[in-house]
Amino acid sequence: MQTFYRALFFILISASFASATHLLGGEIRATNLAGLTYRISAQIYFDALGGGSATDSQKTIEICFGDGSTAIANRSSLTALSGESKGISVGVYEVTHTYPSTGLFQISSAIDNRSLGIINYNDNSTPMFLWTVINTQFSNSTPILATPVTTAGAKQILKIDLKPTISDSDSISAHLQKLSSPSPGTCGVRMLDEKYIFPNDVVKKGTFSLDQVDKKLIWNAPEALGNYIYAVVIDEWREGIKISETYREGIITVIDKEGPTVEIPPYVPATTTGVIAGNPDGDYSELTLAIAAYPVPTQDYLTVKVDSKYATTLKLQLINLEGRVVREINTTSPTVEWKEQLDLRQLTSGVYIIKASDENGKFVTRKVVR
């Protein structure tokens, strides 16, 4: 009888470990092997300290290919990280799939047991839903991103590099994203999780934004210690056509770090297009600029309209995804409203960033497609 209870005890402990919270983020990559055949690779970031046993037991995940079929992907490697990412393990899950035809397909995986203790998201019952969209009309592999930095110093500026380490020389843009959650069913459609708030919304201080030119996620500057979750989408473009979207989730752990600190700037609500004036729930006098551009996408001419809360001189720049300024216009006298039509006929097709700056250095950006 003692042997029976001992065995039951170990079964219950094993089940508890298997269901423990351990997920810290990840992304899905697609590599074109030949024709319509792809190697699908999911990179999953695990809590190696608080969920080591659960991480070890996560040997497989289910992949939905977006064409009505699914497969079990086996873990091909599990690597412990070091340095700024110490305590994190990266599991790689791979499977090969051949699509029946060309088209747009969402590759996805819903995995249970997010880690607990996330300051800006308190629902670990919703699966982590990773997805990547590919266009199989093009011979293409999705960009490979660097392993994200996971620690930030309190009252220090955090910068996370989103430039691909390997790409097909296609143009890349990025934007912030609320967490994705799946619709009901085996292969859910991605939805925005409205329970999520951006990290700087917790204490309503500082900025949390993307530098579209340098492809960096910038938090200026965290204050409250703890774990925060974020999501970004990397868009890949070829000759003005979007050929892939890669959704990534990551964790930022704010700690006390050695080094110089900064004065936390006034709060600006984060948006999915960058730091752009919107409708914040308060009186934020620093939100002085708003930008509009139309039509988007455009072929020949782009009308840009900039509004400022206060009269100011303006600098408008049109920047390509390599960071080169291809158009620049400066106003000569202070204004609160400015509109200009840009002739784009001499520019190649692709993605461009419009950046409007005021005389105090505040700026807003907008992504446009030529």
Q: What is the pLDDT of residues 272-307, one digit of tens each?
A: 654 333 333 333 344 456 666 766 666 677 888 887
Evaluate whether 299 touches 317 at the Cβ level (below 8 Å).
no
Number of domains composing the chain: 2
Task: Tell me what percent of the residues of the chain surpass a pLDDT of 90.
Answer: 40
What's the token pair of residue 139? 């011979």
Rounded CA separation 108/93 (Å): 12
Residue 59 contacts residue 76 (beta carbons within 8 Å) = no
65 and 186 in one domain? yes
Helix (H, G, I), strand (E, B) or coil at 16: helix
Instruction: Residue count of the chain, please give it.
Output: 370
Residues 110 and 8 in one domain: yes
Quickly list DSSP for 169-210. S-EEEEEE-PPEEEPSSSSPPEEE-TT---GGGTTT-SEEEE
Sign for the CA dihedral angle at 143, 135, 242, 64 comes to: negative
Q: Report the distance separating Cα 144 and Cα 91, nearest Å.
A: 15
Amino acid at 202: V
Does residue 351 form part of some domain?
yes
Residue 33 lies in a domain: yes
Whether residue 337 has pLDDT greater than 60: yes
Q: How does DSSP classify residue 84?
A: G
Would you say residue 206 lies in a domain?
no
Q: What is the pTM of this model?
A: 0.74
Q: Specify whether 29 is located in the same domain as 167.
A: yes
Residues 53 and 181 in one domain: yes
Same-domain status, 166 and 297: no
Query: In this predicted structure, what is the pLDDT of residue 21?
Result: 61
In a domain, 326, yes or no: yes
Residues 31 and 172 in one domain: yes
Is residue 58 predicted with pLDDT exceeding 80?
yes
Question: Both tokens of residue 165?
Answer: 């380490």
Predicted local confidence at residue 273, as pLDDT: 54
CA distance 312 to 336: 7
- Is residue 168 domain-shared with residue 306, that is, in the same domain? no
Q: Are residues 187 and 41 part of one domain?
A: yes
Mean pLDDT within 217-224: 94
Check whether residue 187 and residue 300 sit in a common domain: no
C-alpha pair distances (Å), 144 with each of 106, 167, 171, 216, 236: 17, 7, 13, 15, 11
CA angle centred on 257, ends 252 and 263, rounded to 5°: 85
Residues 99/139, Cβ–Cβ less than 8 Å: no
What is the reported pLDDT for 291?
A: 65
Can you give the pLDDT at residue 292?
Answer: 66
Asked whether residue 10 carries a pLDDT value surpassing 50, the answer given is no
Provide the β-strand partners of residue 325.
319
Domain range for 51 is: 2-147+162-195
- Residue 56 domain-assigned (yes or no): yes
48 and 173, same domain (yes or no): yes
Strand order in the sheet with 351-358: 325-330, 314-320, 351-358, 363-369
What rounded mean pLDDT belongs to the chain? 83
At residue 274, the pLDDT reads: 43
Q: Using alpha carbons, list the distances in angstroms from residue 227 to 125, 255, 264, 324, 344.
A: 17, 9, 19, 36, 44
Give the domain CATH number at 316: 2.60.40.1930
d(CA 190, CA 174): 18
Q: What is the pLDDT of residue 306?
A: 83
Clarify whether residues 46 and 176 are in a common domain.
yes
Say if residue 14 is in the same domain as residue 131. Answer: yes
Distance of CA 92 to the CA centre of its chain: 19
Residue 132 lies in a domain: yes
